[in-house]
Amino acid sequence: MLSIRNLGVRIDGKPILQGINLEVAAGEVHAIMGPNGSGKSTLAQTLAGHPDYLVSQGQVLYQGQDLLSLNVEQRAAAGIFLAFQYPVEIPGVSNIQFLKSALNCLRKQRGETELDALDFLADVKQKMRQMQMDETLLYRGTNEGFSGGEKKSNEILQLLVLQPQLAILDETDSGLDIDALKRVAAGVNAFRSPERALILVTHYQRLLQYLVPDRVHVLQDGRIIRSGGAELALELEQQGYAPDTPKDSEDAPNQAPEVSDDDG
């Protein structure tokens, strides 16, 4: 489904990813792990098409087409979904309105008709129950004043409603307590199917207890330095990412372009 070949990405001229190779087949779950600043979020944002991330080399094929030639909404229409590490607040636009607008835009781009409003509402509510989310969140501004856990759950709700082909979860587990983590993992597990693929970007192994990956990759300094099965995550948990080098030494490069919602 996804084939990343020798991908290099720069931000403000600084090389962040330096020759990534990754193959993701339909039905698979891949975990990308690594310390802060290793380029994990950069990889996620590059796949989604964030304009600040400049591809300097390599190519990305998605379902046989050149992904890098598509703009952000075309990629979304092609079935790529990014669960944001920091979901963005959209004041005044209710959650239900946002979801409906997104789904209808996606359907329009795919040449499908708009969904019946009542069917849509019933579908969303059913998925909220599945996620154990409070229905009143539907009528509040999108992510506006949501707690950290509510924001992350809301990303997964969008995932379930929009039904993409390839979902990239950027540190969806960060900041969640154990109950919230289980709910989010259950939601993501409900999304898994033989036709769909998942890329989980995460620091910690704990999400992977509930969402068992097929492959685990370790990213460091913009390169994948190790790949393995689910057991690799456990090993990392016990031994750290790079036992022979001091930790937390490369925090800086990935901070600046991190998506933030503090405009205003």
Partner 1 sequence: MAKSTPPLERMLERGYSQGFVTDVDSDSLPPGLNESVIRQIVAKKNEPEFMLQWRLRAYRHWLTMPVPTWSRVHYAPIDFNAISYYSAPRSRADGPQSLDEVDPEILRTYERLGVPLHERAQLAGVAVDAVFDSVSVATTFQKELAAKGIIFCSFSEAIQKHPALVQRYLGSVVPYTDNFYAALNAAVFSDGSFCYIPNGVRCPMELSTYFRINAANTGQFERTLIIAEDDSFVSYLEGCTAPMRDDNQLHAAVVELVALENAEIKYATVQNWYPGDQDGNGGIFNFVTKRGLCAGAHSKISWTQVETGSAITWKYPSVILKGDYSVGEFYSVALTNNYQQADTGTKMTHLGQHTRSTIISKGISAGHGQNCYRGLVKVGARALDSRNHSQCDSLLIGDTCGAHTLPYIEVRHPQAQVEHEATTTKISDTQLYYCQQRGIDTETAVAMLVSGFCKEVFHKLPMEFAVEAQALMEISLEGTIG
Furthest C-alpha separation in the chain: 58
Q: Is 145 in the site for partner 1 (CB under 8 A)?
A: no
Stretch of residues binding partner 1 (CB under 8 A), selected from 18-26, 58-66, 86-94, 125-133: 86-94
Token code pair at residue 137: 């969140």
List, as one string, the DSSP characters of 186-211.
Answer: HHHHHH--TT-EEEEEES-SHHHHHS
Tell me which residues in 162-181 interact with partner 1 (CB under 8 A).
Answer: 162
Residue 82 CB: number of other CB atoms within 10 A?
25
CB of 44 to partner 1, least distance (A): 11
Stretch of residues binding partner 1 (CB under 8 A), selected from 30-38, 124-132, 210-218, 254-262: 254-262
For residue 253, report the phi and psi dihedrals to the nearest 5 degrees.
-55, -30
Under the phi-then-psi rule, with left for phi > 0, alpha for psi from -120 to 50, and beta for the rest, what region is 13? left
The residue ranges of DSSP E strands in 99-174, in sequence order, are 141-142, 166-170
Binding mask 103-142 for partner 1 (x = CB under 8 A): x-xx--x-------------------------------x-
Stretch of residues binding partner 1 (CB under 8 A), selected from 44-52, 177-185, 197-205, 221-229: 44-52
Q: Is 77 in the site for partner 1 (CB under 8 A)?
A: yes
List 55, 61, 68, 90, residue binding partner 1 (CB under 8 A): 90
| Closest to 250 in 3D by CA, of 42, 36, 40 | 36
| Closest to 168 in 3D by CA, of 50, 67, 14, 30 | 30
Q: Is 87 in the site for partner 1 (CB under 8 A)?
A: yes
What CA–CA distance (Å, rounded) separates 82 from 61?
A: 17
Residue 64 CB: number of other CB atoms within 10 A?
7
Q: Is 18 in the site for partner 1 (CB under 8 A)?
A: no
Token code pair at residue 198: 């998942």
List 53, 84, 146, 241, residue binding partner 1 (CB under 8 A): 84
Stretch of residues binding partner 1 (CB under 8 A), selected from 79-87, 130-138, 181-189, 228-236: 79-87
- Contact assessment for residue 138 and residue 94, using Cβ atoms and an 8 Å cutoff: yes
Stretch of residues binding partner 1 (CB under 8 A), selected from 14-22, 83-91, 113-121, 240-248: 83-91
Give the residues lining the site for partner 1 (CB under 8 A). Answer: 48-51, 71-73, 75-77, 81-82, 84, 87-88, 90-93, 97-98, 101-103, 105-106, 109, 141, 158, 162, 259-261, 263-264
